[in-house]
Amino acid sequence: MEHTQWLKPRPAPEPAAPPPTSPTGPIEPERPSLWRRAGASLLAIAALLAKFAAKLKLLLVALPKLKLLTTSGSMLVSIAAYSLFFGWTFAVGFVLLLLVHEMGHVIQLRREGVEASAPMFIPFLGAVVAAKSLGENATAEARVGLAGPVLGSLGAAALIPVYLATGDELFRALAFVGFFLNLFNLLPVVPLDGGRAMAAMAPWMWFVGFAALVAVTIAFPNPILLIILLLGGMETWRRWRQRRAGDEEQKAYYRVTPRARAAVAAVYVGLIVALAVGMDLTHLTRTLG
């Protein structure tokens, strides 16, 4: 008879104790404050704007070198674009007014000894002139800036006798638009022509002009004004920081004689008055119905 040896069963292992929990519950990751999130958003926007400005600068430098985008070619493209909304006759006159305005800048730049390209037209943004600088000092920059509105205003005014001789209201409308565009360009904020003039008169007026541009953009919102506002804000801040740096080169650039400052102020104020009168004389009253 066999004997079976009984083994004692091993005791079951005790269940592991649950990990201690915090009396306050699970720890949540700390959320950044509202100011930190707003600051991060502003930094991201600033980075995007800086990239946009850099690409725009490269585009303006490259435009004169592109054979396809000659002055005449870009003029035809602009005329075609404006014709979609205003008709080809008005589009031709409008682009010619822009050409006269930009040629004022070109002529004065070359008088200052600065090599300048022919105007390049960008539909719905006007036209640009590529140049390595705007002159040796703020006085030269003011002369270059004001030369565009001076010649542009004369070009618009030349349409008034044409209107009187023909009775065609197209020329009156073109004169009005020409006066308005030149007056708008005299807003004292860079990169507009008025901002160039302020470099020789009172650079602190850049901020006044920027505030006026903000008001215009709010009252008449459109993408073109928004682009000008963004570029103007960046350029105004950049220039102000350079001017406040206090180095000798910047001091020399903004050193303007009282006589030159008075001359620039006289031309600037005189243009504003003349353009306002011109707009009043050529304004067309439209009736509905």
**What's the mean pLDDT in 76-92?**
92
User: What amino acid occupies position 163?
Assistant: Y
**What's the mean pLDDT in 37-58?**
53
Model pLDDT for residues 126-144, shown as the tens digit of each residue: 888 888 888 888 999 999 9
Instruction: Of 49-53, 90-94, 135-139, give the lowest mean pLDDT range.
Output: 49-53
Domain-wise residue ranges, the chain = 61-282
**How far is residue 99's CA from residue 176's CA, in Å, rounded to a whole number?**
16
Residue 128 is inside which H or E element, if any?
Answer: strand 126-128
pLDDT band at 75 (very low <50, low <70, confident <90, very high): confident
Question: What mean pLDDT is reported for the chain?
Answer: 79
**What's the mean pLDDT in 100-116?**
92
Alpha-helical (H) ranges within the chain are: 34-62, 71-86, 88-111, 138-157, 159-166, 169-184, 193-198, 205-219, 223-245, 248-253, 258-282
**What's the mean pLDDT in 244-253?**
78
Q: How many alpha carbons lie under 13 Å from residue 266 in its C-beta half-sphere? A: 6
**How far is residue 98's CA from residue 180's CA, in Å, rounded to a whole number?**
12
Report the pLDDT value the prediction gives residue 43, as an integer from 0 to 100: 58
Long-range CB pairs of 278-287, under 8 A, 24+ apart, other chains included: 278/153, 278/156, 278/157, 278/160, 278/175, 278/176, 278/179, 279/176, 279/179, 279/180, 279/183, 281/160, 282/160, 282/163, 282/172, 282/173, 282/175, 282/176, 282/179, 283/176, 284/169, 284/172, 284/173, 284/176
